[in-house]
Structure 1
Amino acid sequence: MAEKIVAVFDFDKTIIDLDSDNWVVDELGGTELFNQLLPTMPWNSLMDRMMKELHSQGKTIEDIKEVLKRVPIHPRIIPAIKSAHALGCELRILSDANMFFIETILNHLGLKDYFSEINSNPSFVDEEGRLRILPYHDFTTSSHGCSLCPPNMCKGLIIERIQASLAKEGDKKKIIYLGDGSGDYCPSLKLKEEDHVMPRKNFPLWDLIFSNPIRIKAEIHEWTDGEELEKVLLQIINKISLEEEEEEGKSTCASQLLSASDCKLQIISASAHEALRQALSVPQ
């Protein structure tokens, strides 16, 4: 079993096959305005602005939900997630999308309960029925200080928090990180030698890793689509599980040998005691 494994998934172009922000904007007819505003503000702020514009055009929360329910996903992604969970892996999401989009899609796919934690930009529906999208890190008041990441989210800081929380639990757990984008590079740099990173081949994360692979301490396993993601992920889980079983077997063997040694010492001690008793006994 894989109880000592935590699999952390990016969402866009990893669990689903495209960018959920672009999908919603395009499907609801906001592409032209989005492209006009893109050079003028950060992506996360732009998405909040686009939700305002779409709301003013009469687009409702139900319209957004219906679009999200049509999002393309490779047919092997759902079995991959369910299989990893069934084997005992703890599953988490770390995404620069937003909570509303992610939870709507996961609920539609029947996958939300498979994830113990979702880290993404917060979102809510306000009193006017408009979707608001906020930054994970409030960059209007302070910077997260990472030059590799966008101002609204440093995934590296979140991975460090996850690592710290796992360390407090005592058991040494291994992380498998799956992603595709440049924002997934910072958390990949935070992984340790016993961890694994799965960059999607020919996507920005893959390019960044293989431009200087020596910077990555974790084992690197590339993948191309949902079918290969499933295959590679389950292979890694199986490998880690076998290594854990071997370690436990060695520990059990050592314990048994120690017990046998103690038993032998006890037998010798008992025999010596009996011989001494007989030698000291006085014949009647």
Structure 2
Amino acid sequence: MAGVVLVFDFDKTIIDCDSDEWVVDELGASELFQQLMPTMSWNTLMDRMMKELHSQGKTSEDIVECLRRVHLDTHIISAIKSAYALGCDLRVVSDANLLFIETILKHHELLECFSEINTNPCYVDEDGRLRILPYNDPNTSHGCSLCPPNMCKGRIIERIKALTSTKGEQLIYLGDGKGDYCPSLRLTEGDHVMARKGYPLWELVSENAKLIKAEIHEWSNGEELERILMQLIPTLMSPTAPSFISMDCKHETMPMASHESISQALPVPHS
């Protein structure tokens, strides 16, 4: 049976909102956020906003509780669980941060479905403030003009493809934003890119379709995402693979080798 690797962006792909903006808005720091947005990079801005929330008495527990209120489309939940049940390797590549992503996925009982989460690291310092760091070493340029300085998703996709290509696995990339364009360019024939219609990735892919070697699929909402995946995945696997399975993501071990769980990461200051 051929393997399938599903790589999801997170904000406005797995969830409908932007998790960074959700936290800032829900915890009452929108005004400063809007003032600072034109003056600094997004990753630096979010670290600065965590400082502001901390100064207002907001704790990491307040942030976690806020994230648990993020709505997740039932079709997205079903698609993730079904893809996992079919044997797909699910991964996240996101410019959010580890705490936000893990909290939301864990709350919706989806965390165990993912073998890897590639995102900006974070930790709670000795003062109880959440610190958000860049994924990429700030002293080392990733050399990509399409991506923000803290993360090149294209380089992450190249690493994933290098690890999986020897197994004959095909990759499906799902995203919405401008930052998802670079990884779409790194896909090859036999791969697939699912771009959310009406969002920046869809516009860039539509305008530069000749540069995209992967097969392009558009989706608008969770229902369409689930339908496309459940049609696409069996065609990439063996002809005898079931066309649809829906079940919980449960297994004996959780191979999250690239990141720690929230319970481990939150109390320990970064060294």
TM-score (norm 2): 0.87
Within a 5 Å distance, the mapping from 1:130-169 to structure 2 comes to 130-139=129-138, 141-167=139-165
Q: How far off its partner does 1:138 sit?
A: 2.2
Q: CA deviation at 1:212?
A: 1.5
Question: RMSD of the TM alignment (CA)?
Answer: 1.3
Letter in 2 for 1:6: V
Q: How does 1:1-284 map to 2 (within 5 A)?
A: 4-139=3-138, 141-167=139-165, 170-242=166-238
In 1, the alpha carbon distance for the partners of 2:229 and 2:204 equals: 21
Q: Give the distance between the partners of 2:194 and 2:127, measured in 1 at CA.
A: 41
3-state SS of paired residue (1:221) = strand
Report the 3-state secondary structure (helix = DSSP H, G, I; strand = E; otherwise coil) of the residue aligned with 2:112: helix
Distance across 2 between alignment mates of 1:213 and 1:48: 36
C-alpha displacement of 1:244? 8.9
| Alpha-carbon offset, residue 143 of structure 1 | 1.3
Distance across 1 between alignment mates of 2:84 and 2:10: 17
Superposed CA offset, 1:3-45 (max 9, x none): 5100000000000011000000000011000111111110000
Q: What letter is aligned with 1:185?
A: Y
Taking a change above 3 Å as real, the CA distance of residues 223 and 59 of structure 1, as seen in their structure-2 partners, is same
Q: Deviations over 1:80-134 (max 9, x none)?
A: 1000000110100000000010011111111111000000000111111111000
Q: Which whole-Å CA distance do the structure 1 matches of 2:128 and 2:42 have between them?
A: 22
Instruction: Please report the TM-score for the alignment, with normalisation by the length of structure 1.
Output: 0.83
Distance 2:203 2:72 in 1: 23
Is the radius of gyration larger for structure 1 or structure 2? 1
More helix by share: 1
Q: Which residue identity is paired with 1:129?
A: G
Alpha-carbon shift at residue 66 of structure 1 (Å): 1.0
Query: Per-residue deviation at 1:242?
Result: 4.4
Query: In the aligned structure 2, how far is the partner of 1:38 from the partner of 1:210?
Result: 28
Take 1:79 and 1:244, find their aligned partners in 2: how far apart are those partners? 21
| Secondary structure of the structure 1 residue equivalent to 2:96 | strand
Unaligned residue ranges in structure 1 (runs of 5+): 246-284
CA distance in 2, matches of 1:125, 1:86: 34
Q: Distance in 2 between matches of 1:53 and 1:213?
A: 42
**SS of match in other structure, 2:168:** coil
Instruction: Give the Cα–Cα distance (whole angstroms) in 1 for the partners of residues 140 and 240 of structure 2.
Output: 42
Query: Which aligned segments of 4 or more residues in structure 1 are displaced greater than 6 angstroms?
Result: none
SS of the residue corresponding to residue 217 of structure 1 reads coil
Q: What whole-Å deviation, never above 9, does each CA across 1:50-103 have from its counterpart, x for those lacking one?
A: 001100100011110111001122121111100000011010000000001001
Q: 1:154 to 1:244 in 2, by over 3 A?
A: farther
- 1:164 shift after superposition: 1.2
Distance in 1 (alpha carbons) for counterparts of 2:6 and 2:240: 16
